[in-house]
Structure 1
Amino acid sequence: MDILSNLDFSTAFKFLVPSLKAGLWVVVQATVFGFFLAIILGLFIAIGRISKIKILRGFLLVFLEFIRGTPLLVQLVYVLCSTTFSIYYCTSLESRISI
């Protein structure tokens, strides 16, 4: 009972490769988008940190220390929960408004 002799890998590759190529393209797009978003956000934060406005400098200092002080997993859970709640709230709000 050789299980591997009954498997047809060419058929599996024929069906999997297009999906993997599409998934790879999505990963590349998300990486490039995240990279440029991080550069723009980092540039604004860096310019704000050297600003002469004390309130802006203080706010950015607290923001950066908070981001640096919390574990990445906690930040990811917060973003996931807040976006899920926002999407749920917006869609339920839309259904409550009768036009």
Structure 2
Amino acid sequence: MFELDSLPDRPLTAEELQSLRESDAVVEAAPLARAEDGIRHLALQAGERLYGLGYRDDEGWVVVEDRIAEDTDDLAAVRNALRSWAEE
């Protein structure tokens, strides 16, 4: 599993996203929602796992979705899970 403690205690900046992408542990990282203060929803693939990560001020970063990365429909499922989570 991707270690959430490697993320800052706030939304990500564009520079931090680029650092994630360059990490050996990360296959790809893509922002799914940006706010004025940074990236709050993130799709991240580490190894064969695809994670949907969301940030809330009162909770910090949480894993909203965790699945095996098999095809492009998986990214859509992560995006939908993050949208539902954001509406809670």
TM-based fold match above 0.5: no
The structure richer in strand per residue is 2
Of structures 1 and 2, the one scoring higher in RCO (CA 8 A, sep 6+) is 2
How does the TM-score come out when normalised to structure 2?
A: 0.29
Larger Rg: 1
